[in-house]
Amino acid sequence: AQRVTQPEKLLSVFKGAPVELKCNYSYSGSPELFWYVQYSRQRLQLLLRHISRESIKGFTADLNKGETSFHLKKPFAQEEDSAMYYCALNTNAGKSTFGDGTTLTVKP
């Protein structure tokens, strides 16, 4: 069975500091991984997916199959990055398994 672990419930950094939100997964097949973000009073929305290998709002995430990780990184955090972040794993069947989320607070 698939599982997604986000070890940090809360993460706090100062503006301009680097930030890394950790995500580890377990899945026997070929994983398709995503990061979702939920800003205050807004709905859950896709931030990025590993297949696209894109950078969104300065965030990147690299799939490391050896370490079964998909950590989200940003070199210089901004106050508007404060939000809840969820890592999710899709199976071929389409359903997503989510981690329990990390609340990121970027202090001025």
CA distance 21 to 79: 16
Q: Answer yes or no whether residue 27 interacts with other proteins by CB under 8 A.
A: no
Q: Provide the 10 A C-beta neighbour count for residue 47.
A: 20
Q: Answer yes or no whether residue 98 interacts with other proteins by CB under 8 A.
A: yes
In this structure, are residues 3 and 99 in contact, taking their beta carbons and an 8 Å threshold?
no
Exposure letters 8-41 (e unless 16+ CB within 10 A, then b)? eeebebeeeeebebbbbbebeeebbbbbbbbeee
Stretch that binds other proteins, among 15-23, 37-45, 64-72, 73-81 (CB under 8 A): 37-45
Among residues 66 and 93, whose Cβ is nearest to other proteins?
A: 93
Q: Answer yes or no whether residue 96 interacts with other proteins by CB under 8 A.
A: yes
Among residues 13 and 44, whose Cβ is nearest to other proteins?
A: 44
Number of residues that bind other proteins (CB under 8 A): 21
User: Which 42-71 residues touch other proteins, going by CB under 8 A?
Assistant: 43-46, 49, 51
5 beta partners: 24
Binding stretches for other proteins (CB under 8 A): 4, 32, 43-46, 49, 51, 86, 88, 90, 92-101
